């Protein structure tokens, strides 16, 4: 199932790049480069899987899934900048600023963040994807995604991450909040978006969002454990070198894996408790994320 959804999503992403970022200007080139560097596609896949689990048509979640991946890609571009993590490698290739320069990368991120809301709300943006949302769906998607990505969600998490880098005095709760805001909130919004696209009510959307936030927390804990691994597409050991606040600051790798497992079980139990919710594919995907290794 996931491989078919991934193929569907990647085909639409290729179409989006060809339709909207086909110019020879530096902005188009840098955005196309960033979007073409395939990651795990965790967020769009969760959006599509949650839409299906609620009983919706997966095709109806594609605009939201593309927008979410655009927001995620913007966040990676900006995280990698010299003023943030100053990383030279992302998804196994040079980072956007390493290839195009800091200014071009900054603007590529700005463009992606803004365009993400165009693809949700403007039928003429990537018109090859003929399904468009009605006003209510647009409003719910924009509110959910902007809240998760903004100053009370992902951006706040990044700010707190920067604040605590190479500083003493942090607590485990500070770390929990960084992971929940920086990673959990956008993954939660991804899951909520799928349910919204399927026409789910507010109560179901809220629970599906909570599932995603908990799963995102577990996902980021495991990323902390995998920081020293080669072959994960990023510079190995970068977090430790920079003095980043990670779960390995507070516990062993085995204990961190146990905590990620506990959170994953909690998330799966939540969605399995939802009436009329087909949770099997999501449970399998959650366990696949948990089983990642070096």
Rg (CA), the chain: 18
Q: What distance in Å separates the CA atoms of residue 150 and residue 294, rounded to the nearest whole number?
A: 32
Choose the weakest-confidence range: 45-49, 88-92, 146-150, 275-279.
Answer: 88-92
Domain locations along the chain? 2-290
Q: Please tell me the distance from the alpha carbon of residue 27 to that of residue 29, in angstroms, as a whole number.
A: 5
Q: How far apart are CA 215 and CA 188, in angstroms?
A: 8
- The fourth-level CATH superfamily of domain 2-290 is Farnesyl Diphosphate Synthase (1.10.600.10)
Rounded CA separation 28/18 (Å):
10
pLDDT in tens, 177-236: 999 999 999 999 999 999 999 999 999 999 999 999 999 999 999 999 988 676 555 666
d(CA 177, CA 153): 10
State how far the Cα of 232 lies from the Cα of 80, in Å rounded to an integer: 15
| Selection from 142, 153, 155, 128 nearest residue 12 by Cα | 128
Report d(CA 168, CA 50) in Å as an integer.
40
pTM over 0.85: yes
State pLDDT tens for residues 85-118.
Answer: 888 888 889 999 999 999 999 999 999 999 999 9
Closest listed residue to residue 78, CA positions, set 177, 5, 152, 149: 149
């Amino acid at each position: 199932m996931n491989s078919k959804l991934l193929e569907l999503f990647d085909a639409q992403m290729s179409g989006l790049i060809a339709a909207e970022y086909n110019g020879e200007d530096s902005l188009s080139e840098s955005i196309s480069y960033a979007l073409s560097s395939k990651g795990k596609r965790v967020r769009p896949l969760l959006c599509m899987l949650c839409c299906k689990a609620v009983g919706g048509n997966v095709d109806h979640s594609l605009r939201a899934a593309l927008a979410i991946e655009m927001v995620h890609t913007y966040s990676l571009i900006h995280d990698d900048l010299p003023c943030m993590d100053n990383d030279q490698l992302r998804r196994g290739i040079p980072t956007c600023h390493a290839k195009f320069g800091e200014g071009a990368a900054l603007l590529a991120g700005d463009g992606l963040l803004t365009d993400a809301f165009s693809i949700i709300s403007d039928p003429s943006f990537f018109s090859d994807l003929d399904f468009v949302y009605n006003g209510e769906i647009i409003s719910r998607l924009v509110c959910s995604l902007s809240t998760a990505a903004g100053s009370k969600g992902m951006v706040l998490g990044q700010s707190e991450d920067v604040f605590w880098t190479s500083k003493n005095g942090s607590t485990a709760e500070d770390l929990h909040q960084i992971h929940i805001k920086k990673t959990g909130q956008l993954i939660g919004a991804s899951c909520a978006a799928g349910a919204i696209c399927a026409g789910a009510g507010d109560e179901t959307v809220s629970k599906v969002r909570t599932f995603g936030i908990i799963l995102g927390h577990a996902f980021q804990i495991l990323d902390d454990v995998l920081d020293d691994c080669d072959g994960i597409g990023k510079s190995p050991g970068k977090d430790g070198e920079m003095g980043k606040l990670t779960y390995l600051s507070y516990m062993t790798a085995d204990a961190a894996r146990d905590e990620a497992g506990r959170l994953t079980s909690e998330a799966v139990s939540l969605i399995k408790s939802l009436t009329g919710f087909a949770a099997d594919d999501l449970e399998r995907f959650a366990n696949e994320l948990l089983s990642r290794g070096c």
